Amino acid sequence: MSLLIVLAGILLLLFLIIKKFNPMIALLLTAITTGLFLGMPPSKVMVSVGNGIGSTLGSMVMVLALGAMMGKLIEDSGAATKIVFILIKFFGKKNIQWAVLLTGLLVGIPLFYNAGFVVLIPLVFAIASATGLPKLYIGIPMAAALSVTHGFLPPHPGPVALAAIFHADIGKTLIYGLGLSVPIAILAGVYFPRLMISKNTLSLQKDFILTEDRNLPSGLKSFSVAMLPVLLIVAGTIATTITTPYVLKPIFVFLSDPTAALLAAVVITVLVQEAGIAKTMESCVEGVKSIAMIILIIAAGGAFKQILVDSGVGETVKILTADLNLSPLFLAWMITALLRIALGSATVAALTASGIVLPLVGADASPELMVLSVGAGSLMFSHVNDTGFWMFKEYFNLSLEQTFKTWTIMESIVSVTGLLGVLLINSFLNI
């Protein structure tokens, strides 16, 4: 009976989203309604809502805010644009896809998906115009890279929020996620468009020229600031695994905390910018403003998660699936994928699924891999109820059929191969 009530709650959430309710309000209404119908006293429902918001935001709100600041600083400084020019020059004309893919991965780590897409799309069009190549041939590598970082790599909102819910180590999640992201991005971003687009259209123009703005920062500075948060978190996480005492260990332990690493990255980036501290502080403020609603949606998702946990729904799912002999990681992916297809929003689907599958974390499914499995499921089969679907369609001037054949298939490739990668990592960890 409890699962039927949860299903009704998900249908209510879907109805509210279709009716254009703000996702935060839709999640809160659904959380409270579901809790009441599950038999929880009203006072207990509101306590669960408060606890869910607090436990979700408490450990990650600063990571999200600092990550947004970092992304805005990179965007406003021109570092993302500089990286594109350097990689195009390094890879050359014939390997232009690889340059765009790597750019998407580097820029996508500190930038949120929508921001990264808007920053890179003019460059994609400029490259396509200069080379004579189809826009999709250049654009899909960019979109695939941004999608992969959005689903698997902190400090993006989804992975960070899931890490807080599953009590996962963000450093380990980032390391595992990096191991998944590169091969998946190559498959979905390079080989998929090559199979999809006729070879007859892939002839480069001889006069391939892309004009670079002289006011952009240096290449060293651009790459340094873009990769700084990742390098600090990964270095801190790896260094803390060394059991032998050494002088710098307290510093690395400090940097293994993502809040500390991102704070250090933001301060260093502010200090090396030529725009001055006052101007860079304005960028930081604008960066946080851009994710204010995302933070509130995550908070409301945390409330819904806590209702599902406190009502015992998760334990019911655990009991019902115990005899299915299926991997908890696969179950987590499947439940999230179904929610993604129904609800559209990757973040909402991931947060909703987390409350259902949280009890599945155990010896056969580490918290870090559960984050990645749910993240992979949240990318499955994007279609007309997803804003990313329409953004891709309109920017590339595609029909609905063309968008399904390109964007939707690309997202599904990322999702399915992400699940396979998670299962592969899990098998190695359990050897």
Rama region for 167: left / alpha / beta (φ>0; ψ in -120 to 50; rest) = left
Tell me the torsion sign for CA atoms 377, 382, 384, 390.
positive
Contact between residue 336 and residue 350 where contact means Cβ atoms under 8 Å apart:
yes
- For 93-111, give the DSSP string: STTHHHHHHHHHHHHHTTS
408-431 pLDDT, tens digit each:
999 999 999 999 999 999 999 886
76-132 pLDDT, tens digit each:
888 877 887 787 788 877 788 998 999 888 878 767 677 778 778 877 887 887 777
* Strands in 238-289 per DSSP E: none
194-219 pLDDT, tens digit each:
888 765 555 555 555 566 666 788 88
Looking at residue 311, its pLDDT comes to: 86
Alpha-carbon span 388 to 395, nearest angstrom: 11
Burial of 385 (0-12, 13-18, 19+ CB in 10 A): middle
SS3 at position 254 = helix
313-338 pLDDT, tens digit each:
877 777 777 677 789 999 999 999 99
* Structure-block tokens of residue 21: 């309710």
* Structure-block tokens of residue 24: 């935060």
CB neighbour burial string for 111-120, b if at least 16 within 10 angstroms, e if fewer: bbbebbbebb
Helix axes 367-377, 409-429, angle to 10 degrees: 160
Regarding pTM above 0.75, the answer is yes
Helices (H) and strands (E) in the chain, counts: 23, 0
